[in-house]
């Protein structure tokens, strides 16, 4: 089933770890304060999320594709701002 209990836990987890980057991207954009944000973290993380996206495409898994497509955009905003304001 698409919406059994296991999948609901997985969807909730995916929504939380994706939506989490909205306040970080907004804060970084508005304040341009990136001093405490780690450049290696966002470099590795953005590369990793891009690989999750590829993995989702290979599996044909839309939840993995959609969640990681959104996270790539949000993490890239933070990474770009960090590269501009270090």
* Interacting residues with a second copy (CB under 8 A): 5-6, 9-10, 12-24, 26-28, 31, 33-45, 47-49, 51-52, 54-55, 58-59
- We find the least distance from the C-beta atom of residue 65 to a second copy, in angstroms, to be 13
d(CA 56, CA 69): 10
Residues in contact with 60: Cβ distance below 8 Å, sequence separation at least 6, in sequence order: none
Handedness of CA 44, 45, 51, 55 (dihedral sign): positive
Quote the CA–CA distance of 34 and 77 in Å, as a whole number. 12
| Closest approach of a second copy to the CB of residue 30, in Å | 11
- Smallest gap, in angstroms, from Cβ of residue 17 to a second copy? 4
Rank residues 17 and 73 by Cβ distance to a second copy and give the closer one. 17
């Amino acid at each position: 089933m698409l919406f059994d209990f296991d999948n609901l836990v997985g969807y909730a987890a995916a929504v939380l770890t994706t939506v989490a980057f909205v306040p970080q991207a907004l804060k970084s954009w508005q304040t341009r304060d990136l001093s405490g944000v780690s450049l290696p973290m966002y470099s590795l993380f953005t590369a990793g999320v891009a690989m999750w996206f590829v993995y989702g495409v290979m599996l044909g898994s839309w939840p993995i594709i959609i969640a990681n497509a959104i996270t790539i955009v949000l993490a890239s905003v933070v990474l770009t701002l960090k590269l501009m304001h270090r």
